């Protein structure tokens, strides 16, 4: 499905608005965006929106509530669980260690995780980055009736107990949260640092992302300006903020806000963190992929002229979309299970693209 078709589908279920063929005045654009975001407005779980053009955040807004119980409104500073938007930061951590000379993308993962069985001998770090490892989904290995949250080491143990793969590594694409959990563990072992500390010291602190962290409830720190997740059950909004897989890290454990995501987006145009070679690796499609129209790099989906990734977990729906050739980016972070923000972000992005 093309980007323009997705945009039209998104508009079909939104309040009637007119998308101008040329860039409208700033005030008109803002009114257009507010109308598009109206589904998140009012006394409901909300969202925060970022639009960046030519390196400058031109819209940073909150809609609805980050915390219904305490009546705390959503804002650009509200911190949401990024879910799978985390994967681009895990991929960047691996590339930083590659730049440091501490690992190679061609390394067999058993070099760093010798607990894994011989059946995993051919899997490389690159296979994990591109979801081409063939690893068994850890979500399917969780024992029935489990109520305690599982952590990264639990995932490693469950995967290590399997002696078969879905396919030969590198021969197919199957999205794997477990692969990114293992990448987080590899970052720890190659760097000699805890994953949360590594990301703080090598990514968040250098970029001034002061309200972004890998959340670990057992050791802190607590999430600042935390947005809590909700689901609509029997017509009422119910807090559904965590489930048994919400404690894993490399696949989805980061909390951030749109103000900090603007700093992350800016860094992806420069050598501030990743050098040009690493950024090229990150945004170059690596076959095979499940969908020929949506390729995958390292932690990013690549479709047409966009670089993007969504993130979904219990109570959260997020997306970041970049149009790097036009220096436009849109980020939507939301604390509700309802609505996939990807089509909406495409529609908003269209308002700021040169035609």
Q: What is the CATH number of the domain that holds 141?
A: 3.40.710.10
- At residue 355, the pLDDT reads 64
> What tens digit of pLDDT does each residue of 160-171 get?
999 999 999 999
Domain residue limits at 140: 3-350
Six-digit token string for 155: 């995932």
Q: What dihedral do alpha carbons 90, 91, 92, 97 form, nearest 10°? A: 90
**H-helix or E-strand containing 206?**
helix 205-207
**Count: domains in the chain:** 1
* Rg of the chain, C-alpha, whole Å: 20
Whether 253 and 194 have beta carbons less than 8 Å apart is answered as no
Alpha helices in 216-307 (DSSP H): 258-267, 276-282
How far is CA 133 from each of CA 116, 168, 170, 179, 267, rounded to the nearest angstrom?
13, 7, 6, 8, 29
- At residue 8, the pLDDT reads 42
Grouping H, G, I as helix, E, B as strand and the rest as coil, residue 232 is strand
Whether 247 and 151 have beta carbons less than 8 Å apart is answered as yes
| b/e map 134-145, b = 16+ CB within 10 Å | bbbbbeebeeee
- At residue 272, the pLDDT reads 96
- What gap in Å lies between CA 153 and CA 140, rounded to an integer? 16
Whether 220 and 60 have beta carbons less than 8 Å apart is answered as no
- What gap in Å lies between CA 306 and CA 304, rounded to an integer? 6
> What tens digit of pLDDT does each residue of 36-65 get?
999 999 999 999 999 999 999 999 999 999
Residue 83 lies inside a defined structural domain of this protein? yes
Six-digit token string for 203: 């990514």
Contacts of 331 (CB under 8 A, 6+ apart): 49, 50, 258, 261, 262, 265, 318, 319, 320, 321, 345
Residues (pLDDT < 50) of the chain are 1-25
- At residue 1, the pLDDT reads 46
- At residue 28, the pLDDT reads 85
Residue 355 lies inside a defined structural domain of this protein? no
**Residue in the block written with tokens 């639009």:** 51
């Amino acid at each position: 499905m093309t980007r323009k078709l997705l945009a039209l589908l998104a508009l079909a279920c939104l309040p009637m608005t007119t998308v101008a063929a040329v860039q409208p005045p700033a005030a008109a654009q803002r009114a257009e965006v507010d109308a598009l975001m109206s589904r998140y407005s009012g006394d409901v779980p909300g969202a925060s929106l970022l639009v960046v053009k030519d390196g400058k955040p031109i819209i940073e807004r909150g809609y609805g509530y980050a915390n219904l119980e305490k009546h705390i409104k959503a804002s650009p500073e509200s911190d949401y669980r990024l879910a799978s938007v985390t994967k681009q930061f895990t991929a960047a951590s691996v590339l930083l260690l590659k730049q440091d000379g501490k690992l190679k993308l061609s390394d067999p993962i058993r070099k760093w995780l010798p607990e894994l069985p011989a059946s995993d001998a051919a899997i490389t770090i690159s296979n994990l980055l591109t979801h081409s490892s063939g690893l068994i989904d850890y979500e399917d290995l969780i024992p029935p009736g489990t109520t305690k949250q599982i952590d990264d080491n639990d995932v490693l143990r469950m995967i290590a107990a399997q002696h078969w793969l879905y396919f030969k590594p590198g021969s197919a694409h199957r999205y794997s949260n477990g692969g990114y959990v293992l990448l987080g563990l590899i970052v720890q072992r190659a760097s000699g640092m805890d994953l949360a500390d590594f990301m703080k010291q090598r990514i968040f602190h250098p970029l001034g992302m002061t309200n972004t962290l890998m959340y670990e409830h057992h050791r802190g720190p607590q999430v600042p300006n935390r947005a809590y997740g909700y689901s609509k059950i029997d017509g009422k909004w119910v807090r559904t903020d965590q489930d048994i897989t919400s404690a894993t890290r490399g696949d989805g454990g980061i909390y951030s806000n749109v103000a900090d995501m603007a700093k992350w987006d800016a860094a992806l145009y420069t050598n501030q963190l990743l050098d040009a070679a690493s950024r090229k690796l990150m945004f170059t499609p690596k076959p095979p992929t499940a969908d020929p129209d949506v390729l995958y790099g390292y932690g990013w989906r690549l479709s047409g002229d966009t670089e993007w990734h969504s993130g979904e977990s219990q109570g959260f729906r997020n997306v970041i979309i970049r149009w790097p050739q036009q220096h436009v980016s849109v980020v939507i972070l939301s604390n509700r299970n309802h609505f996939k923000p990807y089509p909406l972000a495409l529609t908003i992005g269209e308002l700021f693209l040169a035609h």
